Amino acid sequence: MKYGVSGTGDVGHVIASKLIDLGHEVMMGARSASSEKAQKWAEEHGSHAYYGTFEDAAKFGERVFNCTQGIHAIEALELAGKDHLNGKILIDTSNPFHYEDGHISLDPKYSGNTSLGE
């Protein structure tokens, strides 16, 4: 199966690498097709590992993981393109973290009955 993984951080690397280990083809997507982190990951994982933009990864994957930071998730999904995600399973691992003064917390606008996924 082909997977698109949007995000070049720790979560994206772990998921994409495990999918490769399981025999799948994976494209890691970033804002830029020239992302050094995505290129390095693909070089380290062989012939079933590819890299490109968020849009490229969404086009490529039969299933797509969003592994971007929550504060960038909506932008990343918009860059992926609604048409490229339509009809696909989207697994969203992002959390709506808020970074301020060296501290991390959940963004209060996503408390209560609202979630980032919604």
Q: Share the mean pLDDT of the chain.
A: 91
Give me the pLDDT at residue 90, please: 95
Give me the pLDDT at residue 95, please: 75
The model carries a pTM of 0.86
CA separation for the pair 82, 99 (Å, rounded): 28
Give me the pLDDT at residue 70, please: 82
Closest CA to 80 of 50, 61, 63, 56: 56
Q: What's at 9, amino acid-wise?
A: G
